[in-house]
Amino acid sequence: MSVLLRIENLSVDFHTDDAVVHAVDGVDLEVHEGEIVAVVGESGSGKTVTAMSVLRLLREPPARVSADTLAFRGQDLRGLSPRQLRAIRGGPVGMIFQDPMTALNPVLSIGEQIAEAVLLHQDRRDGRAARARAVQLLALVGVPDAAHRARQYPHEFSGGMRQRAMIAMAIANDPDLIIADEPTTALDVTIQAQVLQLLRKAQRETGAATILITHDLGVVAELADRVVVMYAGRVVETAEVHALFGRPRHPYTLGLLASLPRMDTETDRLDPIPGNPPNMAAPPPGCPFHPRCPLARDVCRTERPALLDLGDGRRSACHFHEELA
């Protein structure tokens, strides 16, 4: 599979009056054609900021984004104009956000908004065909009575239906990459399952690679091919999904897995990771996980572990990854 998106040494700082917050610190990430890559971590780990940096969706300033490489289909994204970036968003890259209300326009009907997304990326501006395509897309994502619902406004849709409309918009132009940021977090559990199934269907229909940002390992197990675990603005482990769940090679991943409810044990006790993620305006020296890590030793407090290639597509940033094996 060829590389669709390549990020090398991405860093993002937020400059405020009081401090500089190092939200992302030297992240490398590759997404291959057609694969689903989950980026997981607690809130504040830098996963959303990483994804938003791809299409320069962060306000600069206060954000300052730097990267050695930021390339989509071999095209360098770093020097693109706002107009060129808009042409990529909603075209070859579809976006799905946690709260569709912030992405939908409250004064335009759902059908008009999807039709607009279609028209934006068409050479021939055919309004009638775009409206018909909008209805077709709404039906595809499981909105019942799509022709009627297309004339309704966002406030007339439930949260789950709005998320379906967002997915319709994201796949309107047959994207190569879908970026989904916590797409099910705001939904109740039964609707979450439906939206996950729909995401899988949308991915199959379009063949698009997907970056799935989530703090929910249940969602990861359902959908992902490969997982990137982030902590304190850095990648701490990457692995194919079954390898990560079966044999984690970083204590932070182990902690995340221990806090996941299991169907195959009698206990329903969860073991959340003790402590809190660090203050990114003043991260701890050495390994940023050391204040919370049960395996931490002296070296962890002074030396930052590099993200090492362990073979078989696995990487881990832990001085003691071999012990975990």
Q: Looking at 287, 307, 314, 315, which residue binds ligand SF4 (CB under 6 A)?
A: 287
Dihedral-angle region of residue 275 (phi above 0 means left; psi in -120 to 50 means alpha; beta otherwise):
left
Of the two residues 157 and 320, which places its CB atom closer to ligand SF4 in the complex? 320
Bridging pattern class, strands 93-96 and 177-181 = parallel
One character per residue 288-317, x = contact with ligand SF4 (rule: CB under 6 A): -xx--x-xx---x----x------------
Instruction: Please report whether residue 249 would count as binding ligand SF4 according to CB under 6 A.
Output: no
What's phi and psi for 41, nearest 5 deg? 160, 165
Q: Which residues contact 37 (CB under 8 A, 6 or more apart)?
A: 29, 31, 209, 210, 211, 212, 224, 225, 226, 227, 228
Q: Which amino acid is at 95?
A: M
4 binds ligand SF4 (CB under 6 A): no
Q: Judged by CB under 6 A, which stretch of 25-33, 159-167, 207-215, 287-295 contacts ligand SF4? A: 287-295
Sheet holding 209-214, edge to edge: 93-96, 177-181, 209-214, 36-40, 226-231, 234-240, 314-316, 308-311
Q: Which is nearer to ligand SF4, 14 or 252 (CB)?
A: 252
How many CB atoms neighbour CB 60 within 10 A? Answer: 12
Q: Is 251 in the site for ligand SF4 (CB under 6 A)?
A: yes
- Output the smallest distance, CB 281 to ligand SF4, in A: 20
Among the residue ranges 131-139, 170-178, 266-274, 284-292, the one whose residues contact ligand SF4 (CB under 6 A): 284-292
Residue 41 is a binding residue for ligand SF4 (CB under 6 A) = no
Cβ neighbors of 279 (< 8 A, separation 6 or more) are none
Q: Which stretch binds ligand SF4 (CB under 6 A): 22-30, 157-165, 175-183, 283-291?
A: 283-291
* 320 lies in the site for ligand SF4, by CB under 6 A: yes
Q: Judged by CB under 6 A, does residue 90 bind ligand SF4?
A: no
319 binds ligand SF4 (CB under 6 A): yes
At residue 151's C-alpha, the angle toward residues 146 and 154, to 5°, is 95
Interaction site with ligand SF4 (CB under 6 A): 251, 287, 289-290, 293, 295-296, 300, 305, 318-320
